[in-house]
């Protein structure tokens, strides 16, 4: 395999790795500089100075994430589902010739009702998971990538067949920061989290159920410090309860969580409380594995 | 009836009316000064100077709303449901003796799962509606009071039997102000609103469905200016779709909307789209009628 620089450049941060010809990570750069903070035209300049030069400016680069949106380096067309390694590789776009700098396309599919659904970055993590075991490339699997905008995907025979997005992390953030539920600290309380997961019920009536985060404090004597944990459980529980009808899956399907450790623990706990089993792959490992798989497919070679 | 000053002092504003012995409104004060903006101890001072003196400081006063919370003049105990005019009158609390200044209690009831539900102010509007026709005081009725925290109540034989709260207005506000859905203007687009009502489906998976407000713009070519109307329809549609299972009612029940004209139109339109019929009473008229009913019950007389 070619030595290269792999990059996951998302909305709020950037991670880059220099990967040698044997697929080993030799060096890492992490910046708290996501595409939402870029001014127009800033991406190439910032990348050259803070990532490419420090990691090796003669190396080719493969990027994934929101860097391929109109907020990032350049908007790269989404690839339609179902999409596997070959489909993704065919959609990789070049933004600089020498050394090559290329960007993995996002995915789109039919979402709820008439709307589409979209992802940028998670497709590379899912591909990374598919590549880690031959069993992952066969049969049907449910993948959950929790986050600001959680993605739930059905993978069938090595291709992303369909997915939906839940704005769970963003809802939590805006409600905790700007709403009547903003009171109290954010320390984690496992019992309040479990009570929130339970209060999610069948996932219906979320706008009604979240008011209970207020009343249990104002009318039922719960400590304000519990509110964040309860709300987190309620939102994650609601996401899990709703997914079966919206994605055609059930508790009989073990869930693969691709996540950082903190979110993995919360989702695994909420899934277990609702009798779903889960396995886990680290989100960074998945991104690196996905980028490597595409490089092995030849996306950094000239056409 | 005694001449008196009626006040609805809510979270974000204050409305006061001087009402004569025949129940006619003689003068009005409106202030953009809700209890959320009060510093501790400020309520009596502000009321005396900006409301009581201008409207007649020798007149007795009956207040309802968040003024009876710990953010307002003084926290008044909630009255438990079922609650009718007599129950509410018995819970009225005095905060000053001469001339009397008294506050209508809020209501509490068993909400979703283990949590309670609460209201302050809407109980007075519901009572006002009950008092306007003898048919309202008999049988079973479903009342909807849309707003920042919408209330849906079952009224049976003149008493509030049970209610639930939907944080629809607050969700709309925080998502429109602070989330990825903040782009675009807020001009009303009836077709986008109707599409949102439709996209609410059965009311399940709200955190998933709201992402469609993003994708229809980013991936499906909808104008950013439509996003607010679509999101409004989606949130109101979800509230309506969820209410039947959470409050044990159905489209066979005509809904009484107690609201200001703009919200009334949106809710009536969304209800009609989902085959529910509705009738309307103005929110200010309802509050005044409720305060008058309690004064006729003698709550401003000394015990």
Peptide bond into A237 cis (omega under 30): no
Give the Cα-Cα-Cα angle A3, A137, A24 (nearest 5 degrees).
20
Residue A296, min C-alpha distance to chain B (Å): 30
pLDDT of the residue at A112 = 80
pLDDT of the residue at B149 = 95
Nearest to A206 by CA among A196, A215, A217: A196
pLDDT by 10-residue block (mean), chain A, 303 residues:
95 96 95 94 96 97 97 96 98 96 97 89 98 94 96 97 96 94 81 96 95 92 92 97 84 90 96 95 97 97 76
- Answer yes or no: is pLDDT of B105 > 90: yes
**Local confidence band at B246 (pLDDT 50, 70, 90 cut-offs):** confident
- Answer yes or no: is pLDDT of B107 > 80: yes
Residue B151, min C-alpha distance to chain A (Å): 9
Q: How many CB pairs under 8 A join A and B?
A: 172
CB–CB of A107/A91 below 8 Å?
no
Cβ contact A204–B207 (<8 Å): no
- The token duo for B152 is 């849906």
CB–CB of A176/A231 below 8 Å?
yes
Arithmetic mean of pLDDT, B184-188? 75
Of B118, B202, B216, the CB nearest to A219: B118
What percent of chain B clears pLDDT 70, i.e. is strictly above it? Answer: 98
Cβ contact B206–A201 (<8 Å): no
- Answer yes or no: is pLDDT of B192 > 90: yes
Query: Over the stretch B214-238, which tens digit does the pLDDT of each residue have?
Result: 999 988 899 988 999 999 999 999 9
Of B205, B211, B246, the CB nearest to A242: B205
**Local confidence band at B184 (pLDDT 50, 70, 90 cut-offs):** low
| Chain B residue whose CA is closest to A178 | B174
Q: Using CB atoms within 10 A of its CB, is residue A132 exposed (0-12), middle (13-18) or buried (19+)?
A: middle
For residue A274, CA distances in Å to A219, A262, B4 come to: 27, 19, 56
Nearest to A233 by CA among A250, A258, A248, A212: A212
Contacts of A78 in chain B (CB under 8 A): 219
Element containing residue A127 per DSSP (H, E): helix A122-131
Contacts of B78 in chain A (CB under 8 A): 219
pLDDT of the residue at B121 = 98
- Report how far residue A261's alpha carbon sits from residue A256's, in angstroms, rounded to the nearest whole number: 13
Contacts of B216 in chain A (CB under 8 A): 114-116
**Looking at this predicted complex, what is its ipTM?**
0.93
Cβ contact A205–B202 (<8 Å): no
- Answer yes or no: is pLDDT of B44 > 90: yes
Of A164, A201, A207, the CB nearest to B168: A207
CB–CB of B265/B233 below 8 Å?
no
Cβ contact A202–B203 (<8 Å): no
> What is the phi/psi pair of residue A103, to 5°?
-125, 130
Query: Over the stretch B133-178, which tens digit does the pLDDT of each residue have?
Result: 999 999 999 999 999 999 999 999 999 999 999 999 999 999 999 9
pLDDT of the residue at A303 = 61
- Answer yes or no: is pLDDT of B254 > 80: yes
Residue B186, min C-alpha distance to chain A (Å): 19
Contacts of A117 in chain B (CB under 8 A): 211-212, 215, 219
Cβ contact B174–A175 (<8 Å): yes
Mean pLDDT for all residues in chain B: 94
pLDDT of the residue at A216 = 92
Contacts of B202 in chain A (CB under 8 A): 204
| Residue with more model confidence, A249 or B36 | B36
pLDDT of the residue at A228 = 94
């Amino acid at each position: 395999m070619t030595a290269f620089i792999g990059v996951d450049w998302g909305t709020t941060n950037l991670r880059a790795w220099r990967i040698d010809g044997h697929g080993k990570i030799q060096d890492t750069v992490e910046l708290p500089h996501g595409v939402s903070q870029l001014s127009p035209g800033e991406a190439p300049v910032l990348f050259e100075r803070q990532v490419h030069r420090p990691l090796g400016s003669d190396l080719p680069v493969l990027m994934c994430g929101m860097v391929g949106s109109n907020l990032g380096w350049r908007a790269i067309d989404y690839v339609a589902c179902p999409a596997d390694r070959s489909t993704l590789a065919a959609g990789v776009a070049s933004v600089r010739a020498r050394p090559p700098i290329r960007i993995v396309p996002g995915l789109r599919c039919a979402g709820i009702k008439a709307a589409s659904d979209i992802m940028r970055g998670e497709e590379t993590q899912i591909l990374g998971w598919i590549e880690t075991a031959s069993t992952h490339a066969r049969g049907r699997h449910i993948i959950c990538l929790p986050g600001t905008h959680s993605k739930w995907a059905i993978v069938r025979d090595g291709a992303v067949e369909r997915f939906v997005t839940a704005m769970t992390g963003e809802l939590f953030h805006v409600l905790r920061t700007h709403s009547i539920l903003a009171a109290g600290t954010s320390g984690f309380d496992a019992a309040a989290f479990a009570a929130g997961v339970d209060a999610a019920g069948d996932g219906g009536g979320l706008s009604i159920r979240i008011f209970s985060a207020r009343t249990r404090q104002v009318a039922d004597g719960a400590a304000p410090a519990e509110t964040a944990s309860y709300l987190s459980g309620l939102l994650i529980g609601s996401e899990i309860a709703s997914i079966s009808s919206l994605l055609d899956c059930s508790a009989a399907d073990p869930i693969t969580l691709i996540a950082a450790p903190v979110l993995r623990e919360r989702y695994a706990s909420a899934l277990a409380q609702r009798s779903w089993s889960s396995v886990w792959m680290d989100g960074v490992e998945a991104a690196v594995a996905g980028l490597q798989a595409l490089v092995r497919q030849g996306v950094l070679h000239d056409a």
